[in-house]
Amino acid sequence: MTFDFAIVLRFKEALLLGLWTTLQLTVICVVLGSLLGFLVGMARSANSPFVRVPARAYVEVFRGTPVIVQLFWFFFCLPLVIGTEIPNIVAGIIALTLYMGAITSETFRASLKSISREQYDACTALGLPHATQVVHVVLPQALLRAAPTLLSNCVSLFKESALLSAVGMADLMFIGQNISNNTARPVEVLTVVALIYFAIAFPLTRVVTRFESRVLAKLSA
Amino acid sequence: MTQSSPAPLLQSDDRLGTQRGAPAAGTAAPLVQVRNLHKGYGPNIRVLKGLSIDMQPGERVVVIGPSGGGKSTLLRVLMGLEQIDEGSIRFAGKPYIEASPAGRRTTIDTVVRRQIGMVFQHYTLFPHLNILNNLILAPCKVHGENKATATARARALLARFGLEAKAEAYPNHLSGGQKQRVAIARALMLDPKLMLFDEVTSALDPELVAEVEQVILQLAQQDMPMVIVTHDMWFAKNIASRVIFCAGGVVVEDGPPEQVLGSPREERTREFIERVFHIR
Ligand SMILES: Nc1ncnc2c1ncn2[C@@H]1O[C@H](COP(=O)(O)OP(=O)(O)O)[C@@H](O)[C@H]1O
Ligand SMILES: [Mg+2]
């Protein structure tokens, strides 16, 4: 069997369009999911069990089940439960946002917890009001510390977003599959699709590693 | 560590000695009045067991004692960082900290608390802010000071401590000694009426100890009242106007430095001082 990678070039536009859809969906779910994750991460350390327990349950359920099951649940089951159709884009965004929310909440929770008692003591000794303490001392450090992990959460989401093809979203994976079926050239097409995902994810993971050591050095003082 | 310390900044004990000795009783209200202070961590760890201390304005009290004896706890209570179980503290004649009936939170007057500054054994600079911003954060946010004047004051203070070149640096680019000097400057930005120093040099490499102690001695010359916990006998002798030996949660001995450090009355004090001197 001979491989003809040139054939993939004929579908350049379609693949780029798919990539564009993947990136858009990733960005939307990253933004919504991180906001959700931040709130849930804070809720995890709330004093009231009425806040803490549901937050924990949510995180455990979404971290403890396969993303594709979550996606199918929102696509196939939620419409039956609420009795209305849900467009696949809506089901997809809900599922990936909730997934992103669950994993980033752990990131935020860990970074909030990593701020030492000494930092809080210093704030009290300086008489900083609670709001100042949160806005000027706790949050900047927590966000800085969370940033590298958050970035790798984003890379995970970018890769997981390929699952959206299973509910018919025309993302990079979906278009790749279609081209591969229509041309009967799965090796060439899917290899190129994999390389495109890799070309974006790999540099980002390198950035995470570099960034992480710099952040840790800075915050270690 | 005594050996590695440089010659005293102050040539004779007399220069600081002019401040020594409490004013005659009745001439001034005590700056700090600790009454029957009890403090534990949880129901099983009793740390301070009925401490009563009066500190006069202008005094520099060095607290010595075995580790685990409650020195840090005492300073943390004075700083208003801890709940207490029993007792009360007055500051400059005003009620400051009051134990509440069982199960209730300790009453701490936060306005009074702002007149007290503290430097810790651990580094507590804000790592995400440069030195200048570490210094001006509290003055701007607590006292609403204008940023330009706070910055000018901060630069002057840094210059006084030989740190003007570090104003824009971040804490992770400073040595331990520089960090502690900045921490002192940061506390001074709020014009405290009392400074608390809890073993501020014990995390430092020996060669960095002196530069921090010099800064504190400089403050002493300006009559800043302070409570200092230290294991450095050279420093204790040079800075103290009064020494308290604290062990097992009570004051064992309390007096002028010559007496407590030189010829202690209590056997436990003598033992402790001999042990500390012999290690050095
Ligand atoms: N946050 C805390 N929780 C429980 N125990 C503590 C805490 N802080 C201090 N202790 C205990 O209280 C005792 C006195 O500690 P500390 O005040 O740090 O003594 P010192 O500064 O004289 O070494 C020690 O036995 C210590 O283990
Ligand atoms: Mg201590």
Report whether pLDDT(B21) > 50.
no
Distance B141 CA to ligand 2 centre (A): 30
Distance A16 CA to ligand 2 centre (A): 63
pLDDT band at B18 (very low <50, low <70, confident <90, very high): very low
Which atom of ligand 1 is nearest the CA belonging to B70?
17
Instruction: Please check whether residue B24 is in contact with residue B254, taking contact to mean a CB–CB distance below 8 angstroms.
Output: no
Q: B91 in helix, strand or coil?
A: strand
Task: In whole angstroms, give the CA distance from residue B257 to residue B255.
Answer: 6
Give A219's contacts in chain B (Cβ within 8 Å).
127-128, 172
Which atom of ligand 1 is nearest the CA belonging to B75?
17
Average pLDDT for B46-50: 94
Q: What is the pLDDT of residue B277?
A: 67
The tens digit of pLDDT for each residue in B56-91 reads 998 999 999 999 999 999 999 999 999 999 999 999
Please answer yes or no on whether B127 and A141 come within 8 Å at the CB atom.
yes
Residue B110 sits at the chain A interface (C-beta within 8 Å): yes
Q: What is the pLDDT of residue A45?
A: 87
Please answer yes or no on whether B179 and A125 come within 8 Å at the CB atom.
no
Give B77's contacts in chain A (Cβ within 8 Å).
none
Q: pLDDT > 70: what percent of chain B?
A: 88
Please answer yes or no on whether A221 and B137 come within 8 Å at the CB atom.
no
Please answer yes or no on whether B127 and A126 come within 8 Å at the CB atom.
no
Task: In whole angstroms, give the CA distance from residue A94 to residue A62.
Answer: 12
Q: What is the pLDDT of residue A52?
A: 95
Structure tokens that stand for A116 in this block: 């030492």
Instruction: Report the predicted TM-score, pTM, of the whole model to 2 decimal places.
Output: 0.85
* CB-nearest partner of B124 from A121, A132, A144: A121
Q: Ligand 1: which of B38, B72, B83, B196 to mutate, judged by most atoms within 8 Å of the beta carbon?
A: B72
ipTM strictly over 0.90? no
* CA-based nearest residue to B231, from B250, B259, B204: B204
Average pLDDT for B255-278: 89
Residue A216 sits at the chain B interface (C-beta within 8 Å): no
For residue B274, give the amino acid letter.
E
**Distance (Å) from the alpha carbon of A120 to chain B's nearest alpha carbon:** 9
Q: What is the pLDDT of residue B23?
A: 46
- The pLDDT mean for chain B works out to 89
pLDDT band at B14 (very low <50, low <70, confident <90, very high): very low
Give A111's contacts in chain B (Cβ within 8 Å).
none
Which atom of ligand 1 is nearest the CA belonging to B246?
22
User: Which residue in B has a C-alpha nearest to residue A117's C-alpha?
Assistant: B124
pLDDT band at B4 (very low <50, low <70, confident <90, very high): very low
pLDDT band at B261 (very low <50, low <70, confident <90, very high): very high
User: Which residue in B has a C-alpha nearest to residue A126's C-alpha?
Assistant: B138
Task: In whole angstroms, give the CA distance from residue B116 to residue B118.
Answer: 7
Kindly report the protein residue whose alpha carbon is nearest to atom 7 of ligand 1. B41
Distance A85 CA to ligand 2 centre (A): 65
Report whether pLDDT(B246) > 90.
yes
Which structural domains are found in chain A, ordered by start?
19-220 (1.10.3720.10)
Report whether pLDDT(B42) > 90.
no
List the 184-203 stretch of B: residues with Cβ below 8 A of A.
Answer: 186-187, 190
Q: How far is CA A24 from CA A29, A172, A174, B160, B166, in A?
A: 9, 11, 15, 55, 44
Q: What is the pLDDT of residue A220?
A: 82
**Residues of chain A falling short of pLDDT 50:** none
Residue B58 sits at the chain A interface (C-beta within 8 Å): no
Report whether pLDDT(B116) > 60.
yes
- The pLDDT mean for chain A works out to 94
Task: Please list, in sequence order, all residues whose beta carbon lies within 8 angstroms of the beta carbon of residue A112, skipping any fewer than 6 positions away.
Answer: A41, A42, A45, A138, A142
How long is chain B? 280
Residue A217 sits at the chain B interface (C-beta within 8 Å): yes
Q: How far is CA A66 from CA A52, A73, A105, A173, B220, in A?
A: 24, 11, 17, 18, 65
Q: pLDDT > 90: what percent of chain B?
A: 81
Residue from B109, B123, B141, B200 to probe the interface with A (highest A Cβ count within 10 Å)? B141
Q: What is the pLDDT of residue B115?
A: 96
Kindly report the protein residue whose alpha carbon is nearest to atom 25 of ligand 1. B68
Please answer yes or no on whether A126 and B137 come within 8 Å at the CB atom.
yes
Report whether pLDDT(B192) > 80.
yes
* CB-nearest partner of B120 from A121, A141, A217: A121
Average pLDDT for B98-119: 91
Instruction: Mark B97-119 as b/e (b = at least 16 C-beta within 10 Å).
Output: bebeeeeeebebbeebbbbbbbb
Kindly report the protein residue whose alpha carbon is nearest to atom 12 of ligand 1. B47
Which atom of ligand 1 is nearest the CA belonging to B71?
22
Report whether pLDDT(B97) > 70.
yes
Report whether pLDDT(B3) > 50.
no
